Structure 1
Amino acid sequence: MRLLEEGQTVRDTYEVERFLGEGAFAEVYRVKHRFLGRQAMKVFKRVGMNLEEIHEMLGEAILLSRIGHPNIVRVFDANVLEAAQGTCGYFTMENIPGGAVQVAQRLAEARRKDPQVQLFPEITASIVGQDFMREGDVKYGIEVFKLVAVAYPDSADANDNLAGAYLKDGQKDLAKQHAEKALAILDSHKVPASSWTDTDEYRGEIRRDTEKILKQLAPGS
């Protein structure tokens, strides 16, 4: 039994138009906002969650809303609704199925069309990722840093951040891969260390950090 039915009104605001698809954890519907028009609504299947669990479930919406840029899927609302099965968390976004995966595809396509385009400010998204890491949300920190690396594949800074996040998550092979890539970018001297700064001091900081990561990954360390 689906969580929502066609024609149903959610929170006196959204009319459910049709079911779009589902994954292991959520169902996606096309809905029509009473004022703003069509959106996609992602409704999580798990019911009866407490506030902390709902916050965790809505992490994808929080991630996308914090970055906020024309090349990123826009999030409009995040809340809870009452389904027949119980209380569920949901968020609404642009009517583009795929969530973070679609974001990555959109960024990669934009980069292919124009290698010089600034998809979003690298430093802004990196700060968002670092905020997630400080808050202990390693999973979402990784997702942000992955998007930054897609948008800025030749950034030593982006690869260093991603390497550190993977290491903290215990994904050692990926940590090693991105740390080595960061060092290779620095050693090539062909591109800036990042899109926002290329000082000798910052290049040195990235180098020290990546070398520290690789040292931690070395056998017997």
Structure 2
Amino acid sequence: MTTDEQRAYARHLAAEAVAAGDDTGWFERLYAAANSGDAVVPWADRVANPMLLGWLDTHRPAGTRAAVVGCGLGDDAEHLAALGYETVGFDVAPSAVRAARERFPDSAVTYREVDLLAPPADLAGAFDFVFEAYTVQTLQGDARRAAIARCAQLVAPGGTLLVVARARDEKDPPGRMPWPLTRVELDAFADGPLRPVEVEDLLDTDDDPPVRRWRATFVHS
């Protein structure tokens, strides 16, 4: 399956789920198909996100507790755990959580099945560092707004939220899934006590063609 075919299949599943009123159910269908060898998850590179790695070269969030939103196959969570953080990786897809556990059977990461749109109370304000990459951009409308708010609510006082997402200008068409975030949508992560301290508008040349991305850092006052 080519990269274009992978993305087309994911878009097909997303369109079906959204049409049925289920904003997140397609993730399980995609990961389950990938686990059985019938599909490939187009964003699962089986290495830690280079945007996270580059940021960590010059930043080191204080505290001990970290969370990875939409952890997928677990590479970002494993990297943070290797740095010494008590890490929770969560995903809405049970098949993704199962695959992460199977890939890293001796992991120090706690992998959990969690819907970001309705997270359990014990995750609220529980993390010194929260990493969100590419989850919000797969949602639209009310689901996107709710996901942004829930990400902000995970951050503990004094903690840091790092967001990575495709970027677009307000005047640009929304395009196809994954739908890029505008600056207004990115700024919405600054909810309540969270405030932006660094917003980078980057051209990711690792993609062909290159992709414009946001990498934004927020801190909890």
Note whether the superposition's TM-score is higher than 0.5: no
Bigger proportion of residues as helix: 1
Q: Which has the higher contact order (CA 8 A, sep 6+)?
A: 2
Bigger proportion of residues as strand: 2
Q: TM-score, normalised by structure 1?
A: 0.31
